[in-house]
Chain A
Amino acid sequence: MNHLHTALWGVLPYLVATVLVTGTAWRYRYDRFGFTTRSSQLHEHRLLRIGGPLFHYGLLFVVVGHVIGLLVPEAVTERVHVHEWLYHANALLVGGAAGLATLAGLAVLLHRRLRVPAVRAATSRGDRAVYPVLAAVLLAGLAATATTVPPHHYDYRLGVSVWFRSLFALAPDVAAMSAAPFVYQAHVLLGLALFALWPFSRLVHAFTAPLGYLARPYIVYRSRGARPAVRNGTARR
């Protein structure tokens, strides 16, 4: 274990976590106006109707897969008698399908972003930084999923997942991660880059998913006097 590994798998995750949390808090405090999907549906809707749902729904499945794969230890699935090969077959098929759907969605979205002039004109600097990272994370993730196919089998649940859970115990298991194949390391690093960019790009809209809508009465009334938060710019006057 050298210093590079310690820096990458022992220090960097905490730095990124700090950036993600403080960056989002800072953005929410000072730029709540900037929390938006910045939708380009007004400019182009035919491709978006295919690409948008494909990408987002695929991504939701991918997120659920990550939560299961990273947070549930192998001992737990064995105790409920889910066989090892069944688990991995499921992860490969469902996870792979979700990953491919997400990738296909992203491809459609990237295509319209580049080829439709109005959408291209509406592309911000943040988008230009996020799109390549997002595509690279997805490709690395899919490549990593492909390595779970039997011939050269790597069980990430005994390596990457152990490292991931050790991060929350504040005792990072650097060895577990540095022993992982290169695609996993690349996927993790690119993922960390994505999380570092998160608060400063349009990705923040994911944090404001409107789940409260399901429990809200249809009509919202508000009083002129009860304005929720005085904007920072005017509050100090």
Chain B
Amino acid sequence: MPRGNGSIGRCMAQVAMVMNLDKCIGCHTCSVTCKQTWTNRSGTEYAWFNNVETRPGQGYPRAYEDQDRWKGGWQLKHGRLVPRSGGRARRLARLFANPELPALDDYYEPWTYDYENLISAPLGDDVPTAVPRSQVDGRSTAVTWGPNWDDDLGGGPRHLAGDPVLKKMNDQVRLEYEQAFMFYLPRICEHCLNPSCVAVCPSGALYKRIEDGIILVDQDRCRGWRMCVTGCPYKKVYFNHTTGKAEKCTLCYPRIEAGQPTVCSETCVGRLRYLGVILYDADKAGEAAATPDEKDLYQAQLDCFLDPADPGVVAAAEAAGIPHDWITAARRSPVHALISRYRVALPLHPEYRTLPMVWYVPPLSPVVESLTATGHDGEDPATLFAAIDSLRIPLDYLAGLFTAGDPAPVEAALCRLAAMRTHMRRVNLGEERDPAVARAVGMDTTDIEAMYRLLALAKYDERYVIPTGYHTTAIGDEPDGCSLDHDHGPGMYDAGAFHAPLSESESESESEPTAAGTSLRGRVNLLNWNGRGRPAGLFPRRDGHTT
């Protein structure tokens, strides 16, 4: 793996994700489970930390990729990286009204239905209906847009015309229904190496965690200046209009710390998500983000990543204080394999210069389907490689998403996927292995079979290689329990009240071993709570106080 002059700067670890778009069926299970976990509270009705959008399409919020309008990410000004929304002075001058903040209409007005009318309406000639009501002001509303309104190309060319990636493409795009193409793009926060949301936060409330690179909002420091919403080019920071604070995807850090995958990964029915550790050179990241030509940003970011099999890297990582189990996890990381070893995963919009860390394996399937439909052997390598140029999903469109418009890396990734299919087809049919197929894409047969295993067969523990974060809690004096256990937080309950103690030794270490049994009494059932007000018993009683 090329690493420039070979000297390693500050080595850091990052928990990263790769999604295999070939497998996404657009079922929205990830979005729904994420919402149930994180954003089912009042003030975040409109927020989806995870959303699945159909491409081509406008995405959520509408046309968020149009940075001329929303000013997200970074830009190069006289060779220096500056947030596109302006430097420090300009941001402070616009503190009182942020001109580039998306309005609720750009997301959608969240609504519910007035179901009570169905049973309480007076007797009459008409069947009573459940009218939609806005969840923001409670008035009846007309539903005109939603988080996935243009799902499966719904709405047709009228909505498609708003796709900023489509707008940038030069050639005529085939949007007639017989030739239409589409695929799904699940999106979460990118947990970037060079996060522009962090850079534009005036209060310093947003931060990147040193240990795992997860970007979080300190709810006690956030003052609701809303700059982060503008700063994030992926529009993955949301403003909670009830609490007046910014909230964002947390990469389910309480689960990651315990070695578990995020909720979206855990519940993904297509098993298309991979989680693992990536070691990178933090000193190089700043230079990489300032690469002059945006088409070189993909390669520049690749060059920041370190090879955990290299003894020099291991030494640098240990010197930087990265725990040993993190280094071994980095060696087994499926994410590192897909990004750096097999080079089939690509970053989403590297041209925003934030160095995103959720990467995507571009979709290949339609090309095989369309070739087979035209009577050709869709799995024949010669036909296949030649056909990748004339993909049903235009190569330029994928390049507009993943490589700032440079089709070469996308084509290379798709060729590798195509070679894998061809190779494995020969294996499955009992034909002789042809090393030329692998060699044509710069791999060997063992590599290609390992990649096949990772993409097609990998089990839970191969897809999610997440070292635990216990080492720091052992030293720190943090209180036990969930770190989300605070006012208005999603985890505002006493962990002991819902789960029995894990083991005898654990309950002995607690000062009050019977707490788990008694504290459940008099508590509210959250399933019956409408999210408004504060029902009695919602919060655990303080010690020494009786209510």
- Residue of B138, B469, B481 near A121 (CB, 8 A) is B138
Given A33-B488, A39-B226, A41-B101: A118 and B244 interface contact (C-beta under 8 Å): no
Q: Any chain A CB within 8 A of the CB of B293?
A: no
A213 within 8 A of B: yes
B198 in contact with A210 (CB, 8 Å): no
A45 B101 Cβ-Cβ under 8 A: yes
Cβ contact within 8 Å between A33 and B104? no
- CB of B429 closer than 8 Å to a CB of A: no
Mark contacts of A1-43 with chain B using CB atoms, 8 A cut-off: 1 yes-contact digit, 0 otherwise: 0000000000000000000000000000000110111111111
Q: Which residues of B in the span 470-495 have a Cβ within 8 Å of any Cβ on A?
A: 472-473, 475-476, 478-481, 485-488
Assuming the A-B contacts A36-B222, A225-B472, are A220 and B479 also in contact, with contact meaning beta carbons closer than 8 angstroms in the complex? no
Residues of B within 8 A of A233 (CB): 486-487, 542
Decide if B225 touches A210 in the complex (CB within 8 Å).
Answer: yes
Q: What is the 8 Å Cβ interface bit string for chain B, positions 82-122, against chain A (1 contact, 0 not)? A: 01000011011001111101011000000000000000000
Known: A219-B194, A237-B479. A41 touches B226 (CB 8 A): yes
CA distance A52 to B93 in the complex (A): 12
Which residues from chain A contact B103 at a C-beta distance below 8 Å? Answer: 42, 44-45
Is the beta-carbon distance between A218 and B198 smaller than 8 angstroms?
A: yes
Q: Is residue A117 contacting chain B, with contact meaning CB distance below 8 A?
A: yes
Contact of B206 among A118, A220, A225, A231 (CB under 8 A): A220
Partner-binding segment picked from B162-170, B208-216, B265-273, B442-450: B208-216
Among A39-63, those with CB < 8 Å from B are: 39-45, 48-49, 52-53, 55-57
Q: Is the CB of A237 within 8 A of B543?
A: yes
In the assembled complex, the CB of A218 is this many whole angstroms from the nearest CB of chain B, namely 4
Docked Cα-Cα span, A40 to B241, in Å, equals 7
Q: Is the CB of B220 closer than 8 A to any CB of chain A?
A: yes
Smallest Cβ distance from B203 to chain A, in angstroms?
5
The verdict on B334 contacting chain A, using a C-beta distance below 8 Å, is: no
Given known pairs A120-B137, A213-B92, A222-B209, the reply for A38 and B224 (CB within 8 Å) is yes
Q: Which 8 residue pairs are nearest across A and B when measured between Cβ atoms?
A: A210-B202, A36-B244, A38-B244, A218-B199, A52-B97, A52-B96, A36-B224, A117-B137
Could you tell me which B residues sit within 8 Å of A by CB distance?
Answer: 83, 88-89, 91-92, 95-99, 101, 103-104, 134, 136-139, 194-195, 198-199, 201-204, 206-212, 218-226, 239, 241-245, 257, 469, 472-473, 475-476, 478-481, 485-488, 542-543
17 intermolecular pairs with C-beta atoms under 8 Å apart = A33-B486, A39-B244, A42-B239, A44-B103, A52-B97, A122-B241, A212-B204, A219-B194, A220-B204, A221-B208, A222-B218, A224-B211, A225-B475, A228-B218, A231-B486, A235-B479, A237-B481
